[in-house]
Structure 1
Amino acid sequence: MSLTRRQFITGTTALALILAAGSAVDLPLVGDALAQTANPADLAQAGPLGDVVEGRPDAPVTIIEYASMTCSHCAHFAVTTYPEMKKKYIDTGKVRYILREFPLDPLAAGAFMLARCAGNDKYYPMVEMLFQKQKDWVVQNPIPPLLSLAKQAGFTQESFESCLKDQKILEGIESVRTHGAEKLGVNSTPTFFINGKVVRGAMTMDELDKQVQPLLKS
């Protein structure tokens, strides 16, 4: 099943797309080859839904991650590296972190929609839970396990279905994805921008240290 951008955001809902697709289905990517550094103005531009930011606004290092909720490498980073990064850098005021949505399929878009619907204060806990349980819901029939996880976060079946039918949220997420692809050249996940420098692929904590430590000393 192939989906154009127009089909993705027009005249349908994430819920319908998930049901039609069955599970993760790649969306076509656009954009030029990824540059080594990003245009600061393009990188600073948040989507219509706004950025959800962790860390101090005046932190010396800003890390922006473009991820897909169905990406196994993104899940690996979220489960193994992110907790240590948060403890060592975010909670100590050294790093300002932003996760931006780059769904590679309708199911990933739906999962991000649930995180958005949970509210900014619950966005990262919802994302963390979905990454931790990724193998449970990235399946042929994803709606039942997604609903079960959403209920743990306070959703009802009604609010769950309403969220996945919210065209404004879907279009907001797709806007972030399109901007990342067309203006920043993102074409795979995870892709990180560390003070504007591009780093591709899930990093270990040692690899992250090598990127962050020189910026803290400069």
Structure 2
Amino acid sequence: MRKSLSLLPVSLALSLSACGGAADTPTTGSSETIAAVEAPAGQKWSETVSKTEEGGIVMGNPDAPIKLVEYMSITCSHCKDFGDQAFAPLRDNYVDSGRVSFEIRNFVRDPLDLSAAILSRCGGEGPFFPLTEQALGYQTTMFEKAQGMDEATYTGILQSDPKVRFVRLAEQLGLIAFFQQRGISEDQAKACLADTTAAEKLMGDTQKGAEEFNIEGTPTFLLNGQKVEGTNWIMVEAKLKEAGAR
């Protein structure tokens, strides 16, 4: 992963080799069931959302004994598959029990992914999870629009001034209009996309995660700080249950 915006790749082809497969099978364990923890009156734990020191955004009980982290890319098809299968039951059955917190750390793979990640964070922590889920659902359309760009247009965008680079790319991909329909105004979206410091931080956090946890593909999961062997919901849910979230 690149540490500088000036070093972003200019090829229009996505680096799909960095998107993991989903052929894993679950294993079983015998940990005792952890007791559920009640959320504050009138609230759900899934409504408790905050940033983390590692650059991620976490939902759930801050003191949850089971902490699940996903390194994910919005341009990864297997991340989309996991989101389709897992986000609702993970939220409703595990996070809201108070036993599990769920953190997403964006692992940016390419300029398309970076543009979408910036916009998913543009409204702050509160709408991050639903915006991320919906952005994953926009993946196919985003790819179609990217493939509709000629190489000269794409290269010209990436070689433009950093403060307009991702604005121009997001316009070509239809991302500004997509997020505008979901509560992020056009001016707000453009301001977020022009924030080179935020973009550099996302790329730096990706680099740090790759080095610290030897992450080579997405999705990659950590359970209480340890990598999980598996990329699908069946495997991850089995590990949650092994840890006592059942």
Q: Shorter-chain TM-score: which interval?
A: 0.7 to 0.9
For the aligned residue pairs, the C-alpha RMSD in angstroms reads: 2.7
Task: Tell me how far 1:60 sits from its aligned partner.
Answer: 1.6
The within-5 A match list for 1:180-191 is 180-191=209-220
Q: Which has the larger radius of gyration?
A: 2
Kindly indicate whether residue 124 of structure 2 is the aligned counterpart of residue 127 of structure 1: no
> What is the aligned partner in structure 2 of residue 65 from structure 1?
70
Kindly indicate whether residue 215 of structure 2 is the aligned counterpart of residue 215 of structure 1: no
Kindly indicate whether residue 170 of structure 2 is the aligned counterpart of residue 170 of structure 1: no
Task: Tell me how far 1:171 sits from its aligned partner.
Answer: 1.0
> What is the aligned partner in structure 2 of residue 5 from structure 1?
2
- For 2:117 and 2:210, the matched residues in 1 are separated by 17
Check whether the contact 1:63–1:192 (CA below 8 A) recurs between aligned residues. Answer: yes
Name the aligned partner's letter for residue 46 of structure 1. E
Check whether the contact 1:189–1:200 (CA below 8 A) recurs between aligned residues. Answer: no
> What is the aligned partner in structure 2 of residue 46 from structure 1?
53
Task: Tell me how far 1:25 sits from its aligned partner.
Answer: 5.0
Check whether the contact 2:99–2:245 (CA below 8 A) recurs between aligned residues. Answer: no
Tell me the alpha carbon deviations over residues 132-172 of structure 1, each in whole angstroms, 9 at most, x when there is no partner.
Answer: 22111123256342122111122333332222221011011
In the superposition, relative to structure 1, how do residues 144 and 196 fare at CA in structure 2: closer, same or farther (>3 Å)?
closer
Name the aligned partner's letter for residue 130 of structure 2. P
Name the aligned partner's letter for residue 138 of structure 2. K
Q: Gaps (5+ residues) in structure 2?
A: 19-51, 150-169
Tell me the alpha carbon deviations over residues 20-72 of structure 1, each in whole angstroms, 9 at most, x when there is no partner.
Answer: 655645799xxxxxxxxxxxxxxxx834xx43210101112100110111000
- For 2:16 and 2:232, the matched residues in 1 are separated by 23
Superposition TM-score, scaled by structure 1 size? 0.76
Out of 202, 210, 215, the position equivalent to 2:231 is: 202
SS in 1 for 2:231: coil
- For 1:148 and 1:23, the matched residues in 2 are separated by 23
Task: Tell me how far 1:9 sits from its aligned partner.
Answer: 2.5
Task: Tell me how far 1:103 sits from its aligned partner.
Answer: 0.9
Task: Tell me how far 1:100 sits from its aligned partner.
Answer: 0.3
Percent of residue pairs identical: 28
Q: Gaps (5+ residues) in structure 1?
A: 29-44
In the superposition, relative to structure 1, how do residues 27 and 211 fare at CA in structure 2: closer, same or farther (>3 Å)?
closer
- For 2:236 and 2:71, the matched residues in 1 are separated by 16
> What is the aligned partner in structure 1 of residue 88 from structure 2?
83
- For 2:229 and 2:223, the matched residues in 1 are separated by 11
Name the aligned partner's letter for residue 5 of structure 2. I
In the superposition, relative to structure 1, how do residues 150 and 196 fare at CA in structure 2: closer, same or farther (>3 Å)?
same
Check whether the contact 1:103–1:109 (CA below 8 A) recurs between aligned residues. Answer: yes
Check whether the contact 2:67–2:101 (CA below 8 A) recurs between aligned residues. Answer: yes
> What is the aligned partner in structure 1 of residue 41 from structure 2?
none
Check whether the contact 1:60–1:216 (CA below 8 A) recurs between aligned residues. Answer: no
How many residue pairs end up in the alignment?
189
